A and B are shown apart, each in its own frame.
Chain A
Amino acid sequence: MGKVIVVTSGKGGVGKTTSTAALGAALAQRNEKVVVVDFDVGLRNLDLVMGAERRVVYDMVNVIQGDAKLPQALIRDKRLETLFLLPASQTRDKDHLTAEGVERIINELKKYFDWIICDSPAGIERGATLAMRHADMAVVVTNPEVSSVRDSDRIIGLLDAKTLKAERGERMEKHLLLTRYDANRAERGDMLKVDDVLEILSIPLIGIIPESMDVLKASNVGAPVTLADARSAPAMAYFDAARRLAGETLPITIPGDKRGFLGKIFGRKAA
């Protein structure tokens, strides 16, 4: 049976879709069968980040309403044989995403895939709670910034209350993915440090993704960053996070602290 992961954050624009695509492609490169599922009905974007926007024929709502079979809606990635996408619907009413329909789809996906990664919409409304409902574990994407940390705290509360796991009295496994981290700015004291965020949210860390141009470049060309440039700093951080998701224990490193010779002479504060 596949494992269901929800990638969530509360706040928009912190990197849920980027992270879903990057983690999905990283896990698929380990030869595991992965499906990334877009739950952002009306504002789908995972297809675009994955570079599959022109191949969408059917979407999740079509499957729920019986207009298409699940295999018809799944899009296989052109670069990775084991990576699939289930797109969200673009135009239809949000209410077409029913709790029963989602449950049926997730249960079916669990039979065929090792990983089902659900890309949650922003907010704490129905779309977000539906995306997290069937999760076995959650990746909480957070930027080192006050509003993002606050919204993550709200989402953590929801994960502990509104998921099937929580309702069964089980503990929901939650992991913090800190994105857009700038080690130099944190060192200078003008950005929350990793430890600050960890102390405030008190959930275990699964990775630190550095702020990087490579993320934008990857989305420009329609490839998960772990496929577009596997040697880039954010890609390597996502690969590590994916290995931790799969249960490996790796030491956490703070990436992106690349000060040159001059930077070192003048000290990290001079920049």
Chain B
Amino acid sequence: MSIFSLFRKKTSAPLARERLQVLLAHERASAGSDLVAVLREEILAVIAKHVQVDADRVQVTMDRDEHVSVLEIEVEIPLPSAMKAA
């Protein structure tokens, strides 16, 4: 530390790091798009057999890490149609 640090402007590297982390999380999720697209379709087909779902309300994302990848599936089941189906 030096006395100059008191007057120092905000540094830029932390912003670079943050932007990259956000961007790459997004790009990694869509990178394996082939697999994700196939999974999405098949999962949707299975769910649609039992529950009425809107194709746009199914989200499949993939997150890559050093050791594990996380596959996240989010299915939104609309209430009115679910009632109708019941």
Interface residues of chain A, those whose CB is within 8 Å of chain B, are: 145-146, 149-150, 153-154, 157, 186, 188-193, 196, 200, 202, 266-270
| Residues of chain B lying within 8 A (CB to CB) of residue A202 | 65-66
Contacting pair A189 B13 (CB below 8 A)? yes
Interface size on B, residues (CB 8 A): 24
- A selection of 16 A-B contacts at a CB cut-off of 8 Å is A146-B19, A150-B20, A157-B31, A189-B11, A189-B12, A190-B12, A191-B13, A192-B13, A192-B16, A196-B16, A266-B4, A267-B1, A267-B3, A267-B5, A269-B2, A270-B4
Q: Does B27 contact A (CB under 8 A)?
A: yes
Nearest A residue to B14 via CB reads A189
- A269 and B13 contact, CB distance less than 8 A: no
Kindly supply a per-residue 1/0 record for chain B positions 41-68, scoring 1 wherever the CB is within 8 Å of any chain A CB and 0 otherwise: 0000000000000000000000011100
A198 smallest CB distance to B (angstroms): 10
Asked if B17 lies at the interface with its beta carbon under 8 angstroms from chain A, I say yes
Question: How close is A10's CB to chain B, nearest CB, in angstroms?
Answer: 12
Contact residues of B: prevailing secondary structure:
helix
A190 to B2, CA, bound (A): 17
Give the Cβ gap from A8 to chain B, nearest Cβ, in Å. 16
| A153/B4 contact (C-beta < 8 A), A189-B13, A190-B12 known | no
State whether A200 touches B17 (Cβ < 8 A). Answer: yes
Q: Residue on B with the closest CB to A145?
A: B16
Chain B interface (Cβ < 8 Å from any Cβ of A): 1-5, 8, 11-14, 16-17, 19-21, 23-24, 27-28, 31-32, 64-66
Distance, CA A263 to CA B31, complexed state (A)? 45
Q: Are B28 and A266 in contact (CB under 8 A)?
A: no
**Contact between chains at A200 and B5 (CB < 8 Å):** no
Most B Cβ at <10 Å: residue of A189, A191, A268? A189
Q: How far is the CB of B5 from chain A (nearest CB, A)?
A: 5
Give the chain B neighbours of A149 by CB distance below 8 A. Answer: 20
A154 CA / B1 CA spacing, docked (Å): 37
Q: How far is the CA of A150 from the CA of B25 in the complex (A)?
A: 11
A154–B31 CA distance with the chains assembled, in angstroms: 8
- The reply to whether B66 and A196 contact each other, CB–CB distance below 8 Å, is no
Contacts of B5 in A (CB 8 A): 267, 269
- The smallest C-beta distance from A199 to any residue of chain B, in angstroms, reads 8
Give A188 to B5 CA distance when docked, in angstroms: 9
A29 CB, min distance to chain B CBs, angstroms: 33
Bound complex: CA A52 to CA B66 (Å): 40
Which partner residue on chain B sits nearest A267 by CB separation? Answer: B2
Cβ-closest chain B residue relative to A202: B66
**Which chain B residues border A269 with CB–CB below 8 Å?**
2, 4-5, 8
Q: B28, A153: Cβ atoms under 8 Å?
A: yes
| Set of chain B residues within 8 Å of A268, measured between Cβ atoms | 2
Given contacts A150-B23, A190-B11, A190-B12, contact A266 B2 (CB under 8 A): yes
Known: A145-B16, A189-B12, A191-B13. 13 other contacts (CB 8 A): A150-B20, A154-B27, A157-B32, A186-B13, A189-B11, A190-B11, A190-B13, A192-B13, A196-B16, A200-B20, A200-B21, A202-B65, A267-B1
Contact A196:B13 (CB < 8 A) given known A146-B19, A267-B2: yes
B5's nearest neighbour on chain A, judged by CB, is A269
